[in-house]
């Protein structure tokens, strides 16, 4: 989910896990984008507004030890590429599915950090009548946008053409996307943005 600036060979899943130390971000006011989303979802759940969860990071477990016979300890495992997006759930009777992307670039989100299988998954969701989008965080600007799958696909589907863009410009996201307001409870007004985009 979070862009890893130096070592592209390492699975981005490494950074998805709350228990693994993360590189600190520049302007997240002390809380990572992922944490903000997770806490917002928790707020939505406890207030009966929506049920949205982050999927656990998929891990391939190779060896398990039982040191005290009471608790299984995993001693060899590897991160796996997720086959779906990070978040899904239900809101106002609608299936909701989104992938969260964070960038430290000021003026674009590179396609490098978006996996084909995630896009395919979102397309399938929308085909079946669900709502699918990207939740994009521009760190330096401290701005979050809901960017609908359809707007994304307009650029994504031609990405391999010679003169096509290899990224989504900030201006496009700002123009077509929906600004997700930031606050205290919830930290991210994701549901209000969904209302504005899909339930108007």
Task: For residues 189 and 92, give the distance between their C-alpha atoms in angstroms, rounded to a whole number.
Answer: 15
Task: For residues 130 and 122, give the distance between their C-alpha atoms in angstroms, rounded to a whole number.
Answer: 9
Strand partners, 188: 182
Contact pattern from residue 39 through residue 68 relative to a second copy, giving x for each residue in contact according to CB under 8 A and a dash for the rest: ------x--x-xx-x-xxxxxxxx-x----
For a second copy, the closer CB: 24 or 160: 24
CB of 7 to a second copy, least distance (A): 8
198 belongs to the binding site for a second copy (CB under 8 A): no
User: Between β-strands 131-138 and 143-148, what pairing exists: parallel, antiparallel or unpaired?
Assistant: antiparallel
Task: For residues 189 and 91, give the distance between their C-alpha atoms in angstroms, rounded to a whole number.
Answer: 13
Q: Return the CA Rg of the chain.
A: 18
Considering only 31, 74, 158, 164, the residue that binds a second copy (CB under 8 A) is 74
Tell me which residues touch a second copy (CB under 8 A).
Answer: 9-11, 14, 17, 19-20, 45, 48, 50-51, 53, 55-62, 64, 70-80, 82-84, 88-95, 121, 124-125, 127-130
């Amino acid at each position: 989910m979070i862009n890893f600036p130096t070592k592209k060979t390492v699975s981005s899943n490494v950074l998805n896990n709350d228990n693994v130390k993360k590189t600190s971000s520049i302007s997240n006011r002390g809380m990572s984008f992922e944490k903000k989303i997770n806490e917002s979802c928790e707020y939505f759940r406890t207030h009966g507004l929506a049920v949205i969860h982050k999927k656990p990071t998929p891990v391939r477990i190779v060896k398990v030890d039982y040191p005290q016979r009471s608790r299984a300890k995993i001693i060899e495992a590897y991160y796996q590429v997720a086959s779906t997006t990070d978040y899904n759930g239900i809101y106002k009777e609608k299936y909701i599915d989104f992938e969260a992307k964070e960038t430290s670039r000021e003026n674009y989100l590179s396609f490098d950090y978006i996996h084909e299988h995630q896009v395919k998954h979102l397309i399938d969701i929308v085909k079946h009548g669900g709502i699918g989008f990207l939740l994009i965080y521009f760190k330096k600007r401290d701005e979050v946008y809901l960017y609908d799958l359809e707007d994304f696909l307009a650029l994504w589907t031609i990405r391999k053409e010679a003169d096509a863009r290899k990224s989504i410009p900030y201006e496009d996201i700002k123009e077509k996307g929906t600004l997700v307001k930031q606050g205290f409870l919830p930290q991210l007004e994701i549901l209000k943005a969904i209302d504005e985009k899909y339930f108007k």
